[in-house]
Amino acid sequence: MYERFYGLREKPFSKTPDPRFLYLGRAHREALARLLFAVEERDPALLTGGIGCGKTTLSRALMDHLDSSFKIILLINPRLSPLEFLRALARHLGIEAPSDYKTDLLEQIGEKLYRLYQQQICPVLIIDEAQLIPYRETFDEIRLLTNFQLDDRNLLSVILMGQPELRRRLAHPVYEPLRQRIGMQYDLKGLEREDIDAYLDYRLETAGGQGGLFQPEAVDRIFAYSQGIPRKINHAASLCLIEGFGRESRTIDADIAEAVMEELALFE
């Protein structure tokens, strides 16, 4: 719709977690570095952050950084009982007929992990939206996965990702054994105001356009609305481009951004 008007190949502010559009501000750069370190060390890791702050996009970027010596297992629906969780893991590992009995199932998983180790492959289990895990016992199974190890390394890397309530939940004393296993944790915050201009320009340029489209006063209004949350920045910026296209304006100024903010205020 507005892409040709602004010289874009594609929409720059899509809501999909495309790692090509990941702008690595200070917080996101540090989070990615910590995740990479945790995977290389095979330490369990915990990444939390508010809705829309970029956790899922970071997980996609992490996958892109890992080579063929890592096998990615991504669970996006963690509402599983302990046995369902173990069976899902087994299927992702390539076990064709996961057992219905926990003892046999754990033996199958252990044997598969050791075979992958012999092939110099490290599975990386990423559990997205982990705050939705319904049972404490499922967290116990996640903890016990770290018992699959050799003298000098774990056979599986585990990353828990979720909203801030996941961190609060794990703070309860019953989760102390799991917390002690977590080697890396990071709470992802939104972008600072000084990052927003670069963020907008990066996404515009990745989509084939040029930076400088959003004037500073417009960026101020986008930041005030979004508080640096990338998903909210994307939503506001997309509406600004639509509004600017309707006005045949080659730049996004304060008037355009203010009109969008008034529109957004009707729904919040």
Q: Please count the CA atoms within 13 angstroms of the CA of 46 that sit on its side-chain side.
A: 23
Provide the mean pLDDT of the chain: 94
- pLDDT for 265 equals 86
Mean pLDDT of 25-45: 94
Residue 136, helix vs strand vs coil = helix
Burial (CB count within 10 angstroms: exposed 0-12, middle 13-18, buried 19+), residue 218: buried
Mean pLDDT of 78-93: 95
User: Is the CB of residue 197 less than 8 Å from the CB of residue 165?
Assistant: no
- Per residue in 162-190, pLDDT tens? 999 999 999 999 999 999 999 999 999 99
Residue 73 DSSP symbol: E
**pLDDT tier at 156 (50, 70, 90 boundaries)?**
very high
**pLDDT tier at 268 (50, 70, 90 boundaries)?**
low
Q: Please count the CA atoms within 13 angstroms of the CA of 80 that sit on its side-chain side.
A: 21
- pLDDT for 267 equals 73
User: Is the CB of residue 155 less than 8 Å from the CB of residue 114?
Assistant: yes
Listed in sequence order, the residues at least 6 apart from 94 whose beta carbon sits closer than 8 Å to its beta carbon are 112
Mean pLDDT of 20-49: 94
138 vs 222: CA distance, rounded Å: 40
